[in-house]
Chains A and B, each alone.
Chain A
Amino acid sequence: MMEKQRLVIIGNGMSGARLIEEVLAHQGKDIYDIVVFGDEPYGNYNRILLSNVLAGEHDPADIFINPLNWYQEQGVTLYAGNRVQSIDPVRKLVHATDGIEVPYDKLVIATGSKPYIPNLQNLYAEQGNLKTGVFVFRSFDDCDAMIAYAQRSQRVVVIGGGVLGLEAARGLQNRGLEAHVVHVSKHLMNVQLDMSAGRMLRLTLERMGVKLHFQKRSNALLGTECVTGVAFEDGSQLDCDMVVISTGILPNVDLAKNAGIAVDRGILVQDDLSCSLPDVYAVGECTQHRGRTYGLVAPLWEQAQCLAEHLTLQSTPRFYQGSRELTKLKIMGIDLAVMGDKEEVEDDDEVIVYSEPSRGIYKKLIVRENRLAGAILLGDGTVTPRVLQLFDRHEELPENRSELLFSLSHEQQGLNIADLPDDTQICNCNGVSKGMIVEAVKSGKRSLKVLCDATRAGSGCGTCMKDVQAILEFASDGAVIEDPSVHYYVPGVPLAKPELIKAIKEQHLYSVSAVFNVLAAGKEDAGSKAGLASLLKTIWGKEYEDERDSRFINDRVHANIQKDGTFSVVPRIYGGVITPQELLRIANVANKYNVPMVKLTGGQRIDLVGLSREQLPAVWNDLGMPSGHAYTKSFRTCKTCLGTEFCRYGVGDSTTLGINVEKRYQGIESPHKMKLAVSGCPRNCAESTTKDIGVVAIEGGKWEVYVGGAAGATVRKGDKLCVVDTQEAVLLYMGRFIQYYREHAKYLERTYGFVERVGIERLRQLLIDDVDGICQQLDHDIQASVDAYVDPWQEASQPVTPAQFMDVLQPVEKITAL
């Protein structure tokens, strides 16, 4: 173990203190006794954060890096507040105030820099210090004093529109002062920014209320005791009660110069940070390396690191190669990063600019030999890191430069489940493909739970549940049994239908919004609105408070929306029996509005397809026929055969009955659509046995009533509910069934599902034998609904909501913003 040497460091600022840390980190303690001199009576603090402190954004106590006790703990001798007055390179020692004299084996000069102070008239007080109210912004004490003085000031003039000047101005503005910045050049931060960026920064700052004055050279301060204003060469002046001078910095070189060390603007250092005299080194803002001086932290720290490696005799010490400089403006609300060159230098430099003044965004890249030579990024911090790293690493740039200017979201935009190929993996955990899931659904796995059990999809991390659900829905064409809320009537209100109806009746909830407010904690669920609307109408009839926003579009405009946003119109043709006059009217309408398609429907009606919503009211008026409700969840139509009037087989007057049925039950809302039919004989030409409710005339003037038939996606033969003697009886039992279905079916449950679920025997007991004694009520309620019916097409004359029948609206005026 060799004799310890003494390492003396002059300066305890950002670079001096950092050097100590680096030396210690490289076990320098085994080689050196470390002695450090600092001007300020503190340990070391992070000068960078002074602007935040001034702005009141950072507690001064929290910016200290090495408090005094740290030096003791580390066994480092600190002379805080002792200024080194001279260096004796011959005897290798330094002289400091209070007659302190310390010999060194190695000496590091880290004296940093001092503010440059332009010579202004009336700048100093008698004692030779700055006039009261005049500050430079450099040290902790400066900052402290400014904060104190700011409390009794209204208006500050900052001389110098550089980074520090602007930060000071904004900081003092935060403390309630009116802040003015006077700047000699044409635009702000002219060292770092080009014209356009400077201009844009100006706008941003002015928006923040900072007053900016350009091309103003100050030549005198006003005021006797305290400063009262600034006078400029152009003869103008600016009143104020506080002045901050921020016109750049000068390396502190005097100490070195007097010791005979080679200096230019700064102390000249080699790549190993050594000076012109043996065993003397320098780091930080006081140095000049390869002709450059630095005023930023990063370079100082790089220097400190290199020097530490040399001082601690590392096997392969780094040599300082100069630094790539980054400047960031530390003003909250402004995102400005500048690096390298601000303008093109070489002829073949490539310049990329994006500028969006309205949002204060300006981005500029200078590319040289496919590498980044400089960049200005204002107003969008998201792209800064990538650009900065490419700049720092001097890496080749991607061919597509715009990649660098805009932060592209990398989230791959997934397709719709329906459009995905079958081999797409849905459940990553268990490698289950879309195809496998679809298969399972087709094979009858129609509840999410059963489906997942069967395929194991979603049994890992569970995050693919949404997709599995989506596939289930698309693959089962809506015939999904949803769980766990399989019992809820609508997803948004956690109540099964009976409880829901009970609650609605007991608490007198007449509108959809009322239901959400009372039963769903005010949370309105889009997917539940239509279901509730239909249920409420079923329950309250006339008393129901209609809210149009809870209707599906078809029910808002009383027509059926098509894929292109046009609508189809189907007028009511009772029992499929129509007059020539009506036919003519329909034909004329089709001509007049040149309807793209006229189609005969399966329900014995005529469909006018492809009308715009603006045409609807006129079309209805011209037709002079009631709505056929071909667009809503309700009674749709009643198909009939010829019946007794003309048919040679007919045993019952099916057309008359059909017309009466349709007249009575037209437009009655229900959980899902109801298609009815009446056949005049058992030949069943109206296909009554596969309708939601079907009636067949049989010998002896009797009528069979079938319920729960279907001939759509599902095919089902209806169950015979009863056989009756009269048309009136038919209408009666029909009504009972309809009302019971309305009250007890799930939303969107067709009668074939409902009848199967409840069971035809049970229905007979309820609706024929009246075992529960509900029939009177049912009859009453359906009658109420029948009475409450109004033809929605009457709204043609007076629209219910603004612009109810308008396709698009126009703005009323155009205001061009600043």
Chain B
Amino acid sequence: MSDIVVTPSVQIDSAESTATHCPYCALQCGIQLSGSREQIKLVGNKHFPVNKGSLCIKGWNASATLTHSERLLSPLIRSSNGELEPASWDDALAFVAQRFHVIQQQHGKDAVGMFGGGSLTNEKAYLLGKFARVALETSNVDYNGRFCMSSAATASQMAFGLDRGLPFPIEDIAYTDMVLLVGSNIAETMPPLLHYFGEQHRNGGQLILVDPRASLTSNQATLHLKLTPGTDAVLANGILHILIRDGLINHQYIDQRTEDFSRVKAVAATYWPERVERITGIPEALIVRVAHMLGRARSAMILTARGTEQQSQGVNNVLAYINIALALGLVGRPLSGYGCITGQGNGQGGREHGQKADQLPGYRKITDPGARQHIANVWGIPEQAIPLAGKSAYEMLDTAGKDGGIRALMVMGSNVVVSSPNASHIQERLKALDLLVVADFFLSETAQMADVVFPSAQWAEEEGTMTNLEGRVLKRERVLEPPLGVRTDYDLLCSLAACMGKGQFFTYADTQQIFDELRRASAGGIADYSGITYEKIEANQGVFWPCVAEDHAGTPRLFLDRFPTPSGRARFHAVQHRQPFEAPDTAYPLYLTTGRILAQYQSGTQTRRVPRLNEVASEPFVELHPSTAHRFMIAPGESVRLTTRRGSAVFTAKVTPSIREDTIFVPFHWGGEQSINRLTSPALDPISRMPEFKLCAVRIERCEVTMEA
């Protein structure tokens, strides 16, 4: 009994409390809110299946942002003296509309860009995409999900013809025999999710973790493979090699449900254990053991996360792991399959409804004529009026202020100055803009650079739907009125459209009407929401897409009998190991990898303003191995300077044997001088355009040393 899971049961009379969802990660834990803004009471929702009442420290303290003193309570316009000064909504709106107009006249429609985020509700994501294409008529619209999910998303598309974080409900994890978890530290990023692994363990299941770093998660794992950063594809191919060698693959499944295995098999022949050991740094015997554990399990899941995805080979890495899942015949089988642990609150929904440069609502390709026509009809505009695919996030930001690039940018729900790679460069680019507009509820690092800032309503102050990592569509409730002077982003986009003379396309009485339009737009698409209604969500604790009709129950488990590909089969993709963009050398002798910690979230715009969270984690640190510390003469707690080809920053040394000797780790939740992303590599994955956050070459030295030098 020592390890039964106990969930808090602070009693709230559900009559006076509202069931809604945590504003943070993609689990979207159910919570119950009650009381006034000042004495708001927040507890976990025992009845919500995903978290069954559990919350992590972020969730428990979520309400702190609602009353925070630093909240923006009125629009701001940068005055002649260079200061951001309060302005009325009407003035701010008119100003922005007029500037957009002028800039587009001088430099063309594409000169104005929209930048969204993976935390926005489905309705917002949809509206933002429509605003860009219909009101601004620009092709330059993208979102920070590029920095997050895109590799897994792309790989899933290629392999299965569909991208939904998990193809099964989260409960299934508790009953599967074996989980291979790659590049994830859920114990810190999504603690409540770990319940399911605990339960799986108690049911006799096992967890294998792949991560260069030991973490709170690896403590839970049966096996932990500390692989060399950037060698995931080699490991995956090596595992496949052994599965083939020892006759553990599922030929029947491969014949009946997949295509293109032969090439993958041939490539696997070149990843024999000795070679794989040499590249990945994982002992031969261990690789064989893992292969056998996976191959002999009755049911197994392979789950990937940012660790393997945020690389210039991100898509390849994921494909290589998917190859294993397919060769073992896991995908579409009970309690088995491949899944991606989506990170951002609405990382899933955010990438489905058209805030991506190459995509239209319903996960439609913007290049597909049929899709364009369908959306054009829903929007009531001619098909050719819909712009073509624009530039991806980093590339768009990179063109800021350049000829043919964007001259104006509107950012919503994202703190790009902190979260984008090569951040200091991006900061420079944003300075070169003629106009930067930011909508946020705090004066984030990005907002501080803006010419106009709009104060946004927060999670508990507006309603809308979110789609969690399971593809479960949830309803977030409006529990409080926004403070005086604050409006919802829906409001902002619609009024701005009106000021630009496009009001007739943005007439909604309430959020539900936006959602209903989204449903029509998504109808027949891959992510089909047409059968989902607010009522249905509330009645069923969420609905899994695709849901094609109001009498359709939704789809908790995917791929049971066919894949949404032309042939109906899943596709193997041969993957060769390629060197990362930067490997350690004499000048920059170590790998730098970045990641998340429990008490902070993403760029920290919200969490860094929550006192309880800052007590727990107030500043970033650099994690390094004792013998590495010794090698560079660094003592614990000393401040050290990290230098890459892009820049340098100072952090406090945290010496721990939990990390590889050749790798150092820094969390990325902080801005300004402490922003590690000023150092990370801008290399992009050729297919998903995912930046290589997870590794680059770095030099580390004690600060005194650099002073002298």
Interface residues of A (CB under 8 A from B): 21, 25, 45-46, 48-49, 52, 57-59, 62-67, 70, 297-298, 326, 328, 330, 335, 381-382, 384-386, 388-389, 392-393, 395-396, 398-400, 403, 408, 410-412, 428-431, 448-449, 452-453, 456, 458-463, 465-466, 469-470, 482-485, 491
What chain A residues lie within 8 Å of B2 (beta carbons)? 465-466, 469-470
State whether B274 touches A330 (Cβ < 8 A): yes
What chain A residues lie within 8 Å of B7 (beta carbons)? 452, 459
Tell me, yes or no, whether B9 is within 8 Å of chain A by CB: yes
Tell me, yes or no, whether B214 is within 8 Å of chain A by CB: yes
Tell me, yes or no, whether B107 is within 8 Å of chain A by CB: no
Known: A398-B631, A428-B216. Is A65-B270 also a contact (CB below 8 A)? yes
Q: Which of A67, A460, A484 contacts B54 (CB 8 A)?
A: A460
State whether B283 touches A461 (Cβ < 8 A): no
A-B pairs with beta carbons under 8 Å apart, 20 shown = A45-B269, A46-B272, A62-B245, A65-B269, A381-B283, A381-B285, A382-B286, A393-B662, A398-B661, A400-B627, A431-B612, A449-B6, A453-B6, A458-B5, A459-B60, A460-B54, A462-B54, A463-B220, A465-B4, A485-B1
State whether A429 touches B57 (Cβ < 8 A): yes
Known: A58-B245, A64-B269. Is A463-B194 also a contact (CB below 8 A)? yes
What chain B residues lie within 8 Å of A484 (beta carbons)? 1, 4
Tell me, yes or no, whether B641 is within 8 Å of chain A by CB: no
Q: In this complex, which of B6, B186, B198, B275 has the most chain A Cβ atoms within 10 angstroms of its Cβ?
A: B6
| Chain B residue, CB-CB nearest to A400 | B627
How far, in whole Å, are A428 and B57 apart by their CA atoms in the complex? Answer: 9
Q: In this complex, which of B1, B286, B599, B612 has the most chain A Cβ atoms within 10 angstroms of its Cβ?
A: B1
Q: In this complex, which of B220, B281, B658 has the most chain A Cβ atoms within 10 angstroms of its Cβ?
A: B281
State whether A62 touches B269 (Cβ < 8 A): yes
What chain B residues lie within 8 Å of A449 (beta carbons)? 6, 9
What chain A residues lie within 8 Å of B630 (beta carbons)? 398-399
Known: A335-B285, A403-B627, A461-B193. 16 other contacts (CB 8 A): A65-B267, A67-B266, A297-B275, A393-B584, A429-B56, A429-B191, A430-B56, A430-B57, A430-B60, A452-B8, A459-B6, A460-B191, A461-B191, A462-B194, A469-B2, A491-B1
Tell me, yes or no, whether B536 is within 8 Å of chain A by CB: no
What chain A residues lie within 8 Å of B195 (beta carbons)? 461-462
State whether B272 touches A459 (Cβ < 8 A): no
- Nearest-neighbour CB distance to chain B for A405, whole angstroms, equals 14
What chain A residues lie within 8 Å of B54 (beta carbons)? 459-462
How far, in whole Å, are A25 and B220 apart by their CA atoms in the complex? Answer: 40
Tell me, yes or no, whether B211 is within 8 Å of chain A by CB: no
Known: A65-B269, A395-B589, A431-B616. Is A386-B576 also a contact (CB below 8 A)? no
- Nearest-neighbour CB distance to chain B for A61, whole angstroms, equals 9
What chain B residues lie within 8 Å of A392 (beta carbons)? 278
How far, in whole Å, are A72 and B373 apart by their CA atoms in the complex? Answer: 40
How far, in whole Å, are A176 and B4 apart by their CA atoms in the complex? Answer: 54
Q: In this complex, which of A25, A431, A485 has the most chain B Cβ atoms within 10 angstroms of its Cβ?
A: A431
State whether A463 touches B216 (Cβ < 8 A): yes
Within 8 A of A (CB), among B622-649: 627, 630-631
- Nearest-neighbour CB distance to chain B for A647, whole angstroms, equals 52
State whether A382 touches B57 (Cβ < 8 A): no
Tell me, yes or no, whether B228 is within 8 Å of chain A by CB: yes
- Going nearest first, the 4 A-B pairs with the smallest beta carbon separation are A461-B194, A461-B191, A460-B191, A398-B627
Known: A453-B10, A458-B6. Is A62-B194 also a contact (CB below 8 A)? no
How far, in whole Å, are A65 and B7 apart by their CA atoms in the complex? Answer: 54
State whether A65 touches B266 (Cβ < 8 A): yes
Known: A459-B55, A461-B187. Is A326-B278 also a contact (CB below 8 A)? yes
Known: A46-B272, A52-B245. Is A66-B3 also a contact (CB below 8 A)? no
How far, in whole Å, are A431 and B618 apart by their CA atoms in the complex? Answer: 13
What chain A residues lie within 8 Å of B194 (beta carbons)? 460-463
What chain A residues lie within 8 Å of B358 (beta carbons)? none
What chain B residues lie within 8 Å of A45 (beta carbons)? 269
What chain B residues lie within 8 Å of A388 (beta carbons)? 277-278, 281
Tell me, yes or no, whether B282 is within 8 Å of chain A by CB: yes
How far, in whole Å, are A70 and B263 apart by their CA atoms in the complex? Answer: 8
Q: Which of A326, A428, A463 contacts B598 (CB 8 A)?
A: A428
How far, in whole Å, are A381 and B277 apart by their CA atoms in the complex? Answer: 10
Tell me, yes or no, whether B615 is within 8 Å of chain A by CB: yes
What chain A residues lie within 8 Å of B5 (beta carbons)? 458, 462, 465
What chain B residues lie within 8 Å of A465 (beta carbons)? 2-6
Within 8 A of A (CB), among B560-577: 576
- Nearest-neighbour CB distance to chain A for B407, whole angstroms, equals 33
What chain B residues lie within 8 Å of A398 (beta carbons)? 627, 630-631, 661
State whether A385 touches B616 (Cβ < 8 A): no
Interface residues of B (CB under 8 A from A): 1-10, 44, 53-57, 60, 186-188, 191-195, 198, 214, 216, 219-220, 228, 244-245, 247, 262-263, 265-267, 269-270, 272, 274-275, 277-278, 280-286, 576, 584, 589, 598-599, 612, 615-616, 627, 630-631, 657-658, 661-662
What chain A residues lie within 8 Å of B269 (beta carbons)? 45-46, 49, 62-65
What chain B residues lie within 8 Å of A59 (beta carbons)? 245, 247
Q: Which of B57, B186, B228, B278 contacts A431 (CB 8 A)?
A: B57
| Chain A residue, CB-CB nearest to B615 | A431
How far, in whole Å, are A398 and B615 apart by their CA atoms in the complex? Answer: 36
State whether A456 touches B8 (Cβ < 8 A): yes
Known: A52-B245, A386-B661. Is A460-B266 also a contact (CB below 8 A)? no
| Chain A residue, CB-CB nearest to B284 | A381
How far, in whole Å, are A395 and B662 apart by their CA atoms in the complex? Answer: 10
- Nearest-neighbour CB distance to chain A for B524, whole angstroms, equals 35
What chain A residues lie within 8 Å of B219 (beta carbons)? 411, 463
State whether B56 touches A461 (Cβ < 8 A): yes
Known: A58-B245, A62-B265. Is A382-B278 also a contact (CB below 8 A)? no
State whether A389 touches B266 (Cβ < 8 A): no
What chain B residues lie within 8 Å of A385 (beta carbons)? 277-278, 280-283
How far, in whole Å, are A393 and B247 apart by their CA atoms in the complex? Answer: 35
- Nearest-neighbour CB distance to chain A for B566, whole angstroms, equals 20
Known: A62-B265, A399-B630, A430-B60. Is A463-B198 also a contact (CB below 8 A)? yes
How far, in whole Å, are A382 and B266 apart by their CA atoms in the complex? Answer: 28
What chain B residues lie within 8 Å of A459 (beta carbons)? 6-8, 44, 53-55, 60
What chain B residues lie within 8 Å of A328 (beta carbons)? 274
State whether A46 touches B192 (Cβ < 8 A): no
Known: A62-B269, A484-B1. Is A463-B187 also a contact (CB below 8 A)? yes
What chain A residues lie within 8 Å of B266 (beta carbons)? 64-67, 70
Q: In this complex, which of A48, A466, A470 has the most chain B Cβ atoms within 10 angstroms of its Cβ?
A: A48
What chain B residues lie within 8 Å of A52 (beta carbons)? 245
How far, in whole Å, are A749 and B551 apart by their CA atoms in the complex? Answer: 57
What chain B residues lie within 8 Å of A429 (beta carbons)? 56-57, 191, 598
- Nearest-neighbour CB distance to chain B for A424, whole angstroms, equals 14
| Chain B residue, CB-CB nearest to A58 | B245
Known: A385-B282, A461-B187, A465-B3. Is A410-B616 also a contact (CB below 8 A)? no
How far, in whole Å, are A66 and B269 apart by their CA atoms in the complex? Answer: 10
How far, in whole Å, are A25 and B686 apart by their CA atoms in the complex? Answer: 14
- Nearest-neighbour CB distance to chain A for B577, whole angstroms, equals 11
Q: Which of B6, B56, B245, B658 contacts A57 (CB 8 A)?
A: B245
How far, in whole Å, are A46 and B188 apart by their CA atoms in the complex? Answer: 43
| Chain B residue, CB-CB nearest to A14 | B270
What chain B residues lie within 8 Å of A386 (beta carbons)? 281, 661
What chain B residues lie within 8 Å of A70 (beta carbons)? 263, 266
State whether A389 touches B281 (Cβ < 8 A): yes
How far, in whole Å, are A815 and B317 apart by their CA atoms in the complex? Answer: 54
Known: A328-B274, A382-B283, A385-B282. Is A410-B60 also a contact (CB below 8 A)? no
State whether B192 touches A382 (Cβ < 8 A): no
What chain B residues lie within 8 Å of A431 (beta carbons)? 57, 599, 612, 615-616
What chain A residues lie within 8 Å of B627 (beta carbons)? 398-400, 403
How far, in whole Å, are A448 and B6 apart by their CA atoms in the complex? Answer: 8
- Nearest-neighbour CB distance to chain A for B272, whole angstroms, equals 6
